[in-house]
């Protein structure tokens, strides 16, 4: 798992604080619905049957997603390599990966709940930070090395990392704390967290201490909790940010995210 998942589950905090309201249109639906692009289905078709039309669909209709998968996620070569299609297909002939593909198809035959939660969470987030753009969200099947891919205003969900706490393969290779975040209900919080981190990265003009890094993550996670309308992430750093925001009600969410003076948040 990514290091970012290491700090997710510490001590318990219930921090709802002030409420963010989801703006609805007259039909009672979000005014900017998000629908996960099912790139994984086309990917699965090619990787299980070798269907050339599926490969063509991937390259023509999803060029960014295909390049990202091949070059950045799998790291098996350049997308313009004459042999890359064979390398790509052969890579997934491993029995473990073929099993992952089948299980993803079964567990994620329907993603309406993810679409709904993404729509509501991003509506709350953009209500608090109006300048944030809504990214294009798509699903893919990786190789168990990454969960959320961020880039080019897109969010790629690696569904192979969200097959459940008791998924047999996870039991062999992941700890209990890691498996707690490898569940369906963590997809949307992870999308928000990694997207916000890409927009509001840690200060890079100096070397940060570990507490400062933890506080930065605490700020991101506090905002995600608000956007999710429930306490998904809870630790002492989220608690510290929550106390700060309650004591400084004039501070908006965007100002919070941009504030890299970590000393005002550090737990004493």
- Taking the C-alpha atoms of residue 263 and residue 237, their distance in angstroms, rounded to an integer, is 12
- Taking the C-alpha atoms of residue 97 and residue 126, their distance in angstroms, rounded to an integer, is 37
Query: Percent of the chain beyond pLDDT 70?
Result: 88
CB 127 within 8 A of CB 21: yes
For 231-255, write each residue's pLDDT tens digit.
999 999 999 999 999 999 999 999 9
What are the extents of the domains in the chain?
24-205
Which residue reads 């400062």 in tokens?
A: 212
For 172-191, write each residue's pLDDT tens digit.
999 999 999 999 999 999 99
Quick one: which of 200, 183, 174, 187 has its CA closest to 259?
200
**Strand, coil or helix: what is 30?**
strand
pLDDT band at 32 (very low <50, low <70, confident <90, very high): confident
What's the pLDDT at 267?
56
CB 151 within 8 A of CB 71: no
Average pLDDT over residues 14-22: 40
What's the pLDDT at 268?
54
**For the CA atoms of 162, 166, 169, 171, what is the dihedral angle to 10 degrees?**
120
Total residue count of the chain as it appears in this document: 268
CB 10 within 8 A of CB 236: yes
The better pLDDT of the pair 23, 84 is held by 84
Average pLDDT over residues 128-138: 94
Average pLDDT over residues 84-98: 94
Q: b/e per residue, 207-216, with b = 16+ CB within 10 A?
A: ebeebbbbbb
Largest CA distance in the chain: 60
Kindly state the tokens that stand for 114: 């993810």
* Angle between helices 112-128 and 210-228 in degrees, nearest 10: 110
Cβ neighbours around 155 below 10 Å, total:
23
CB 20 within 8 A of CB 128: yes
CB 84 within 8 A of CB 77: yes
Cβ neighbours around 236 below 10 Å, total:
14
Element (H, E) at 157: strand 154-158
Element (H, E) at 140: strand 136-140
Average pLDDT over residues 199-221: 90
- Taking the C-alpha atoms of residue 230 and residue 253, their distance in angstroms, rounded to an integer, is 17
The better pLDDT of the pair 127, 14 is held by 127
């Amino acid at each position: 798992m990514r290091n970012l998942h290491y700090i997710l589950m510490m001590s318990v905090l219930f921090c709802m604080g002030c409420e963010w309201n989801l703006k609805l249109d007259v039909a009672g639906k979000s005014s900017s619905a998000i629908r996960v692009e099912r790139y994984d289905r086309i990917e699965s078709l090619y990787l299980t049957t070798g269907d050339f039309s599926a490969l063509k669909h991937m390259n023509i209709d999803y060029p960014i997603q295909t390049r990202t998968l091949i070059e950045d996620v799998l790291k098996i070569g350049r997308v313009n390599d004459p042999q890359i299609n064979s390398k790509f297909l052969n890579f997934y002939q491993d029995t473990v990966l073929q099993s992952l593909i089948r299980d993803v198809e079964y567990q994620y035959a329907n993603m309406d709940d993810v679409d709904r939660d993404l729509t509501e969470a991003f509506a709350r987030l953009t209500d608090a930070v109006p300048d944030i753009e809504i990214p294009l969200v798509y699903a893919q099947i990786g190789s168990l090395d990454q969960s959320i891919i961020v880039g080019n205003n897109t969010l790629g969900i690696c569904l192979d990392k969200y097959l459940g706490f008791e998924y047999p393969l996870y039991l062999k290779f992941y700890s209990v704390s890691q498996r707690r975040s490898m569940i369906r209900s963590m997809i949307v919080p992870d999308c928000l967290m990694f997207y916000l981190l890409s927009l509001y990265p840690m200060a890079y003009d100096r070397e940060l201490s570990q507490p400062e890094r933890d506080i930065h993550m605490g700020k991101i996670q506090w905002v995600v909790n608000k956007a999710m309308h429930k306490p998904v992430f809870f630790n002492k750093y989220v608690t510290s940010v929550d106390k700060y925001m309650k004591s400084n009600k004039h501070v908006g969410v965007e100002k919070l995210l941009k504030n890299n003076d970590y000393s005002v948040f550090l737990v004493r």
